[in-house]
Structures are given as structure tokens and as C-alpha cells.
Amino acid sequence: MNGIAYRLPMFIRPADNRSLMVDASAGLSLGVLPGLDDFSQAVQPCLAELDGLVCSPGQLRRLTGLTKAQAGLLVRVDWNNTLRGKDFALPVSQPYRVPILTAQDAFELGAVGMVTTFLLGYEEEVEAACLKSVVQLALEGKARGLPLVVEIQATGPRVSLPGKAVELGASYALEGGADVIAVPYPARDSLKTIGAFVSVPWLVRPTSLKEAAAELDAAMGCGAAGLWLDGAVFGEPDPVAVLAGLRSQVHAQPSEVKA
């Protein structure tokens, strides 16, 4: 068994090829997120409800002694400033995406996978750099047995057809060597298109936590492997209960999932 085949089931459940993942790494760009002032204390009760948790390098170092029944820990290997809105203290004047870890670094941290961002809707140089980085990380990951998750962010000012941009991003990620792809929820037609050509597990990031259940149903009806949430879930009054409900939905038997 190669390393990727060994580690992928640590966050994509092999029994049904599905996953509930939370990305808690946005603090790299935004600072401390609501509910994550004490990272370890906040996430520990949630780990049994998750299949995967995406951390920054510093966050990952703070979680030790996890069991197989708890979430697999993935590490964010890049930084970008495009998550910052106009009201942020340091608003974005020019998009930047900067690699912060190599596959070897992620391996030495003990991560079960790497997560990188593919930015769409920006200058050609930005998108070209993202594609080059995906290919390089995929090759390095295969050499070290580390799966690569590519998160699509179609948020640039040049995006005129969001659904088509998400489809294009999924295509780039697949061709670049991604082992898992996370896409923002697009139009239903785009879900069908993505489901028809993506040959690796793909997860959908809902437009909001409120819409997560309905959008998950729609995506899984088109072949999605599960749900990708951002760290906002930790700001909920009872994040464990929220995650438990979504986990049950993600891992429902096929006959229970709405088409």
C-alpha cells in the first residue's frame, strides 16, 4: 500500500468514501477567529464528529495524542490575503498567495494531508502560479505519501460566471494532480457537471452554515463526497451539536440521501 492510499482513509472514510471536514486555518490571514481564542480547548470536543480538520502549522502542533476515532489533521501549506474583506484592518490592494510549507515540512509535522488554495478570477500570473504550485505539491506529495487537497476559491473580480469558474477550477485541480477537491457551492447545473468529470473525492463548501444541509443534499445527489466547512462553525453556541447533525447527514446510507 502506498502512502496516499494509507493516509487518505484517515480523513475520507473508507466505508462510504465520504467526509465532513472543517478548515480552521483562516486565522493565518484573518487573525483569531470567533470561538477559537483557545484553539485546543475549542476544537477538542469537536474532533470525534469530524473526519478531517485543516490547521495552520502552529495549530497542528497544539493537537497531540489523537485517536483513530478523531479527525485526521491536515495542514495548510499556503497563505493568501484574498479572504480579507473591505472592512478588514489591512484590506487587499493586490492579491497575494505565498507557499509556507513544502510537502517535506508537512510530512515532518505529522499531517495526514496537505491543503492548498487555487485562486480564480485574478490576473493570469496568479492563476498560473496556483496551477504550478498544485502540480509541484502533487508530485512531492506522491513521493512522500501525502494526499493533496485543492480548495477552489473563485472570488476574483474577473469572475463573471461563478458556476463556470468553479467548474474550471475543479478541472485545473484534477489535471494538476489533486487527490481531493473542495469547491464552493455553485449552481445545480455546475454540480452535475463537476460530478460528471471529477474522478477523485470532492467536497462542497456551503454558501452559509444555515444552507449547509440543503446544499449538501444537492451536492451529494450529484456525487459529492461530503462537506467542507470553514471555521465559523466554532463560533456557534453549540458547535458539537451542529457538526454531529451534519456528520449524520454526510454518512447517511445512500437511500437516505435526497437526489
CA distances from 129 to 80, 119, 135, 136, 157 (A): 13, 9, 10, 11, 18
Confidence of residue 257 (pLDDT cuts 50, 70, 90): very low
Q: pLDDT confidence of 94, banded at 50, 70, 90?
A: confident
What's the pLDDT score for residue 97? 83
Summarize pLDDT for 197-254 with one digit per residue, the tens.
999 999 999 999 999 999 999 999 999 999 999 988 999 999 999 999 999 999 985 5
The pLDDT of residue 157 is 85
Per-residue pLDDT of 141-190, as tens digits, reads: 999 999 999 999 998 889 989 999 999 999 999 999 999 999 999 988 99
Which of 40 and 111 is assigned the larger pLDDT?
A: 111
Contacts of 252 by beta carbon, 8 Å cutoff, 6+ apart: none
| Average pLDDT of span 95-110 | 91
Looking at residue 259, its pLDDT comes to 41
pLDDT band at 96 (very low <50, low <70, confident <90, very high): confident
Average pLDDT of 58-66?
A: 88
pLDDT value of residue 26: 77
Average pLDDT of the chain, as a whole number: 90
Nearest CA among 36, 7, 1 for reference residue 235: 36
Report pLDDT for 83: 62
Where do the domains of the chain lie, and which CATH numbers do they carry?
Answer: 20-60+68-254 (3.20.20.70)
Rounded average pLDDT over 69-96: 76
Q: Rounded distance, CA 94 to CA 182, Å?
A: 24
Q: What is the pLDDT of residue 85?
A: 56
Taking residues 110-133, report their average pLDDT.
94
pLDDT at 87: 60
CA 4 → CA 141, 196, 205, distances in Å?
8, 24, 23
So what's the pLDDT on residue 207?
Answer: 95
- pLDDT (mean) for 34-45: 85
Where are the extended beta strands (E) located within the chain? 19-23, 52-55, 72-76, 78-80, 97-99, 113-119, 148-153, 180-184, 202-205, 226-230
In terms of C-beta density within 10 A (0-12 exposed, 13-18 middle, 19 or more buried), how is residue 167 classed?
buried
Cβ atoms of 101 and 75 within 8 Å: the answer is: yes
Between 187 and 115, the higher pLDDT residue: 115
Contact 202, 180 (CB under 8 A): yes
pLDDT for 131 beyond 80: yes
State residue 256's pLDDT score. 46
Query: What does residue 62 show for φ and ψ, rounded to 5 degrees?
Result: -90, -5
pTM for the predicted model, two decimal places? 0.92
Residue 228: beta bridge partners? Answer: 21
CA angle 100, 138, 81 (to 5 degrees): 35
Q: What is the pLDDT confidence band of residue 62, given thresholds at 50, 70 and 90?
A: confident
Q: Is the separation of the CB atoms in 219 and 204 below 8 Å?
A: yes
